[in-house]
Chain A
Amino acid sequence: MTEAAPSTSLPQKRHYRQRAHSNPMADHCFDYPQTPDEMDWFKHYPEMIKQNNDNNENVQVEFLDIGCGYGGLLITLSPMFPNTLILGMEIRVKVSDYVMDRIAALRSQHPSQYQNIACIRSNAMKYLPNFFKKGQLKKLFFLYPDPHFKKAKHKWRIINECLLAEYAYVLADGGIIYTITDVKDLHEWMADHLSKHPLFERMGEEELKDDPIIEKLYSSTEEGQKVTRNNGDKFLAVFKKISDPYFNNTS
């Protein structure tokens, strides 16, 4: 969408501040491909993707950070998974632009690094199937999402009964959803909805103890660091996508 600032310096956050809430139901202007095959990933990952190639022959995005905020998780994960394409989606204009400028600056300061991360401004509640094929993603992240406290706004929450079907659609079997929040009520809401959904199964501590990503969820994002500064609690819930029990029972 945008070009980075011509300088190679990191963007300053003060130019990109924006209120924390966005109405996901409004008809904002978004650029999105009509189908995943029409998506031009080359412009987002120029060193990882071959231009003009069939998307099927290229490496595909496998990790998606929904509501990536200022991009802290992307930058942390980049060196941990150098061969995996990682995408952040953020709905707010200025915040997503900050992440794009930040990645561009990091790439110019550290040649051949940070080539596997990118950010797109989009509404994940509406356009996931436009970007990703069925079962394409391995990991989905929901870090410190907007709690939308008011009851009337609960339908705007990024995790809800009906949207989970779309997340299950883009996730491969065995794919993982990570959620973390400092709002206890929202944590219970997310864990409850995911537990009730037949395509997701909660992962226990034993399963998670070798996952190097877990500790990063507490500290890598700007939102997480703010909670730490305020001595707030953080609640984690991690779920795995399983095959449909309806077919297992009937076949």
Chain B
Amino acid sequence: MVILYENNLLWCAFSRKLLVFHSSNEHEELEIPEPELPKESVKENNGKNITCITSSKDSEYTAITTQNKQLIVYNKVFKPIRNIKLPKVANKICFAPNNELLVADKNGDVWAYNVNIDNEKPVLLLGHLSIIIDMIISPCGKYIITCDRDEKIRVSHYPNSYNIAMFCLGHKEFVTQLHLLKNNVLLSASGDGTVRMWNYLEGKQLNMLDCNDRVEESILKKIVNELHKEEEIDISRLPVCNMQVQENDNNVILAISLYKIPKIYLYKLNSENLKCSYVNHIEVEKENFSFFLSSRLYIITDKVTGYNFNNNDVDLVACKLLDETISRYKDLLNHSTNCSTLFYKKKHNNIEDYLFRKKQRLESK
């Protein structure tokens, strides 16, 4: 399931259904055109589910991408105006302030599409050597920030993205999510179980939150062992799967979920001194869930639960309409965003073997 909350609209995609909820809680389902394909190449069986949603800041456009490489752009009144075939599956999309659409593909390349002109060829902006997991553009429109499986956060100028402004390095695993606070502090969540705060123009880490602090040792061990057995992955910390951020004045609320943990951890972050304090956690009844943060926290399993923030506590609130609507589609719900894809590397060590043989050779002299 893919969720986007932007400009007071809530976009929900499950499988190939796209719903938009207005603030009045009314909703409508949008038309998703089929790909305009030459007839001989309709042989793709990878599914057609929606993979990304993004809206332009001025709410003129909303774009979605699908598993079968469609890029569909909607106008303000939710009518599809473009139906583009992408060369590669998109991993992340976002609009620049000039309404150019940026598409990060599976290969680690970022392409810029002009959605105003039909059939315009995209321009290659930049490329990572590994898969780009998240991408944001600064509100000033001067920087694209991308993060990848190789632990790196790259800050590139825009639109002259051949020019790298800085790298923010320090994460010890893949970087899953980026968020810019209003004061231009960058937050990044990672497979190393941390959220880090950056001055991204200087590449300087300002603070770090270890999200594994609240996990019981025995549960951590159990999940780590399972990963080792089933996937041959060796880790000591659980990756951050989802980080949602809500900002009011200096107070920032972080809602964080970790791999295989049916809980949402809530933290308060002071955006001035970047001090982080743990508030509470919410137990989720099901192992698979999605959630998002607006002024409230909404958790979606096969139903929807809402919470209000109240100082250091959270109160359950009714969200009957949303619940009723989403429950109607519960057969289509697929909470795959809860970290079904882990980006750990399979490491093969070819050095020790060589050094052992070298030692034998030298000793036999």
Contacts and interface: CB of A to CB of B under 8 A. Distances in A.
Same complex for A and B? Answer: yes
Interface of A: 1-2, 5-6, 15, 24-29, 34-35, 93-94, 97, 121, 125-126, 129-130, 134, 161-166, 168-169, 197-199, 244, 246-247
Given A168-B163, A244-B163, A162 B169 contact: no
Contacts of A161: 124, 127
B351 interface: yes
B160 A244 contact: yes
Interface in B125-155: 126-130, 150-152
B162 A168 contact: yes
A164 B156 CA distance: 13
A192 B48 CA distance: 39
Identify the 5 closest CB pairs spanning chains A and B, nearest first: A162-B127, A246-B160, A27-B345, A169-B164, A129-B167
B105 interface: no
A27 B164 contact: no
Given A5-B362, A129-B169, A162-B126, A29 B162 contact: no
A35 B354 CA distance: 28
B129 A27 contact: no
A244 B160 CA distance: 9
8 contacts: A25-B129, A27-B347, A27-B348, A97-B358, A163-B129, A165-B164, A199-B162, A246-B163
B350 interface: yes
B169 A35 contact: yes
Contact of A126 (B124, B126, B129): B129
Q: How large is the interface on B (under 10, 10 to 19, 20 to 34, 35 or more residues)?
A: 35 or more
Given A94-B354, A162-B127, A34 B172 contact: yes
Given A27-B346, A27-B347, A134 B166 contact: yes
A134 B203 CA distance: 10
A1 B126 contact: no
B47 interface: no
Contacts of A25: 129
Contacts of A27: 345-348
Contacts of A244: 157, 160, 163
A197 to B, nearest CB: 6
Classify the secondary structure of B's interface with A: loop
Interface centre among B128, B345, B351, B358 (most CB of A within 10 A): B351
Contacts of B109: 162
Nearest to B349: A29
Interface in B73-108: none
Contact of A28 (B156, B162, B172, B350): B350
Contact of A29 (B127, B156, B166, B351): B351
A94 B161 CA distance: 37
A2 B351 CA distance: 10
A6 B362 contact: yes
B281 to A, nearest CB: 30
Interface centre among B124, B127, B345, B362 (most CB of A within 10 A): B127
B160 A93 contact: no
B169 A168 contact: no
Contact of A199 (B126, B163, B166): B163
A29 B152 CA distance: 17
A236 B344 CA distance: 40
B355 interface: yes
Nearest to A249: B160
A125 B162 contact: no
A94 B157 CA distance: 39
Given A27-B346, A161-B127, A244-B160, A1 B152 contact: no
Given A34-B169, A35-B169, A168 B362 contact: no
A2 B170 CA distance: 26
B361 interface: yes
B362 A93 contact: no
Nearest to A134: B166
A204 B128 CA distance: 31
A2 B355 contact: yes
A203 B184 CA distance: 40
A219 B362 CA distance: 32
A80 B104 CA distance: 45
A165 B164 CA distance: 6
Given A35-B169, A126-B130, A163-B129, 15 more contacts: A1-B351, A2-B358, A26-B348, A28-B348, A29-B348, A29-B350, A34-B169, A93-B350, A134-B164, A162-B126, A168-B162, A169-B164, A169-B167, A199-B162, A199-B163
